[in-house]
């Protein structure tokens, strides 16, 4: 008994790690009490025998590891301890989770970040927690379709979910200059066979699911992630009705807290949860290997080792709102303070204390005295350590979000932010600006002949060559696949051409040595200099047009946008 209590108290201290010392002291006593009470095996909700309140939860899809935290909260008794009798409802064809929630058929639902658009349109929903810190939603194409970049979707077919729930993929496409008028929308189909059999050229899937299925069937594929295009949304957010929060705030707080406990348990006990799903929830008849793949990818996106499960902040919701607004999906103000739930720690602790008030009278004095004597000296060290870890993790996450993991260059997100900022400077007459768009010629042949591992080495070699040619003040970025771009400040078209020629010659003159081959490459480059009135989309479009002109004229050359429509240079 004593060891169990000490272990739970240690967990409480760790959860206090990010709080100021004064706040930690102010809530230490009730938190210690809560830890003690949850450690007593003979004190349970069922023994006090209160009436459980029935709650229904609408899942966004059929049972799988995507909802493991809810299963854990049920089977570990977390919901029962919170006074709740919870029923989980699988996805119903033709009805979105928000339809079910606002129709009054359920009290809680699992949705996507597009819920913000529903709130903006007047639907009174509140987001309680973000289970996935990064969304698993992605656009997937077969490798043999020739869709190497999002621009290749023009005049092709794409299967996308309807409504606001697919907003992040539409934002990604718009960020890449693609609108719904540029491709044919294929009716939704839940089977990956529609992609494998050629029924669509691009498929709206999850990184937690479809990549495993394609690998098992030996189908090469490409994955386009919104994060690579500066669209980094939350995934699988827990929502409720504003009216329920106003009338029964304790029920909402208790359900949220029990759900987060369930997810903490699920992430820490992946194999146990997979076994539970195989036994009780495997309505999709997935293999254990498939569920383990989904579990590992889900844990990576939940980031429970970096931030608390369910963590949200207003600044990130504000960035998401800004993306929607920039892409034309949102044109009215949103009351984020009313949309994003802020839990009251004091209220939830008081509810817990009231539930176990009779047991508290008999156990608190003796146990708290022993615990305080044993652990208070460790508190400051644990708080300081945890604070340093969280701060380091936050800085690392910010750095990773703007760096291409393969090449070490700036990624598309930082490229777009920098181009937007530098265009503003150019518009104010503070500097010249030129944009160089770069593509590796016949790169698909490298992947097809030598494999993607060699292809990665080629990309790193080209990236190193481009960075070596760049001048101080130039920003070199990998913008996707085999595509690169250079933002040249204080540079006109003729100066940018000299730099582009130097890069072209550097790559053309070198061999990239790999374990399997020595590979020679060439580049095609397009240049666009700033013109009055240019936007991010317009200058990128002119640079890309010049790039395509370079390819059409035989590749391994530099074309300026002003000469893209003339005879070969």
The predicted-structure confidence for 90-112, as pLDDT tens digits, reads as follows: 998 878 899 999 999 999 999 99
Helix, strand, coil percentages in the chain from 3-state DSSP, rounded to 5: 55, 15, 30
Rounded to an integer, what is the distance from CA 556 to the centroid of its chain? 37
Please say if the pLDDT value at position 354 is more than 50: no
Least-confidence region, from 168-177, 280-289, 428-437: 168-177
Both tokens of residue 314? Answer: 């207003």
- Over residues 11-38, the pLDDT tens digits come to 433 334 444 433 343 444 444 444 443 4
CB proximity list for 394: less than 8 A, separation 6 or greater: 306
Question: Residue 548: its pLDDT value, please?
Answer: 96
Please say if the pLDDT value at position 414 is more than 80: yes
d(CA 88, CA 79): 12
Q: Could you tell me if 83 and 355 are in contact, meaning their C-beta atoms sit under 8 angstroms apart? A: yes
Question: Residue 23: its pLDDT value, please?
Answer: 39
With b for 16 or more beta-carbon neighbours within 10 A and e for fewer, the 371-392 pattern comes to beeebeeebeebbeebeeeeee
pTM, rounded to two decimals: 0.54
Which stretches of 248-344 are DSSP H helices? 249-268, 270-276, 288-302, 314-326, 336-339
Laid out side by side, the sheet with 84-89 consists of 84-89, 53-58, 108-111, 235-241, 125-132
In this structure, how many other beta carbons lie within 10 angstroms of the beta carbon of residue 222? 17
324 or 250: which carries more pLDDT confidence?
250
Averaged pLDDT of the chain: 85
DSSP summary character for residue 340:
B
Please say if the pLDDT value at position 499 is more than 90: yes
| Maximum separation of any 2 CA atoms in the chain, in Å | 92
With b for 16 or more beta-carbon neighbours within 10 A and e for fewer, the 263-274 pattern comes to bbbbbeebeebb
Question: Residue 180: its pLDDT value, please?
Answer: 84
Report, as an integer, the average pLDDT of 238-261.
96
- 3-class secondary-structure state, position 555: coil
Question: Residue 7: its pLDDT value, please?
Answer: 36
Please say if the pLDDT value at position 403 is more than 50: yes
Domains and CATH numbers, the chain: 1-43+356-401 (no CATH), 47-134+234-339 (3.40.190.10), 137-229 (3.40.190.10), 412-563 (3.30.70.270)
Question: Residue 5: its pLDDT value, please?
Answer: 37
Of the pLDDT bands very low, low, confident and very high (cuts 50, 70, 90), residue 4 is: very low
């Amino acid at each position: 008994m004593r060891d169990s209590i000490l272990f739970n108290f240690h967990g409480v201290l760790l959860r206090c790690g990010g709080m100021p010392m004064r706040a930690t002291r102010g809530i230490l006593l009730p938190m210690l009490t809560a830890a003690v009470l949850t450690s007593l095996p003979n004190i349970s909700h069922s023994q006090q025998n209160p009436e459980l309140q029935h709650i229904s939860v609408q899942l966004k899809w059929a049972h799988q590891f995507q909802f493991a935290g809810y299963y854990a909260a049920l089977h570990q008794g977390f919901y029962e301890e919170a006074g709740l009798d919870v029923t989980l409802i699988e996805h119903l064809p033709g009805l979105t989770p928000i339809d079910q929630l606002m129709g009054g058929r359920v009290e809680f639902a699992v949705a996507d970040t597009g819920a913000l658009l529903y709130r903006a349109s007047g639907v009174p929903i509140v987001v309680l927690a973000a289970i996935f810190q990064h969304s698993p939603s992605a656009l997937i194409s077969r490798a043999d379709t020739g869709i190497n970049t999002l621009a290749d979707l023009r005049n092709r077919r794409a299967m996308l979910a309807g409504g606001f729930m697919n907003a992040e993929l539409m934002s990604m496409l718009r960020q890449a200059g693609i609108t719904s008028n540029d491709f044919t929308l294929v009716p939704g189909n839940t089977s990956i066979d529609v992609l494998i059999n050629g029924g669509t050229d691009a498929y709206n899937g999850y990184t937690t699911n479809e990549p495993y299925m394609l690998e098992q069937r030996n189908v090469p594929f490409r994955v386009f992630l919104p994060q690579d295009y500066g669209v980094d949304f939350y995934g699988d957010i827990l929502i409720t009705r504003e009216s329920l929060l106003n009338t029964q705030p304790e029920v909402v707080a208790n359900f949220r807290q029990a759900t987060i406990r369930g997810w903490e348990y699920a992430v820490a006990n992946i194999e146990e949860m997979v076994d539970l799903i195989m036994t009780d929830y495997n309505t999709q008849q997935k293999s254990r290997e498939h569920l383990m793949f989904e579990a590992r990818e889900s844990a990576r996106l939940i980031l429970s080792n970096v931030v608390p499960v369910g963590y949200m902040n207003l600044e990130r919701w504000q960035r998401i709102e800004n993306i929607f607004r920039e892409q034309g999906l949102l044109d009215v103000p949103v009351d984020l303070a009313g949309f994003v739930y802020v839990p009251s720690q004091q209220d939830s602790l008081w509810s817990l204390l009231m539930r176990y008030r009779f047991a508290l009278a008999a156990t608190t004095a003796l146990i708290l005295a022993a615990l305080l004597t044993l652990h208070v000296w460790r508190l400051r060290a644990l708080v300081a350590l945890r604070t340093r870890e969280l701060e380091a993790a936050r800085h690392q996450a910010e750095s990773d979000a703007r760096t291409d993991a393969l090449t070490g260059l700036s990624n598309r997100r930082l490229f777009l932010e920098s181009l937007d900022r530098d265009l503003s400077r150019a518009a104010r007459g503070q500097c010249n600006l030129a944009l160089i768009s770069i593509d590796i010629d016949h790169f698909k042949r490298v992947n097809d002949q030598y494999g993607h591992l060699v292809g990665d080495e080629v990309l790193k070699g080209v990236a190193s060559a481009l960075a070596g040619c760049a001048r101080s003040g130039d920003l070199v970025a990998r913008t996707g696949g085999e595509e690169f771009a250079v933002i040249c400040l204080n540079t006109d078209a003729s100066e940018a051409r000299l730099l582009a020629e130097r890069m072209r010659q550097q790559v053309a003159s070198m061999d990239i040595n790999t374990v399997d081959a020595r590979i020679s490459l060439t580049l095609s480059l397009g240049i666009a200099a700033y013109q009055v009135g240019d936007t991010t989309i317009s200058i990128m479009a002119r640079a890309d047009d010049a790039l395509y002109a370079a390819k059409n004229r035989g590749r391994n050359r530099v074309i300026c946008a002003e000469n893209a429509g003339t005879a070969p240079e």
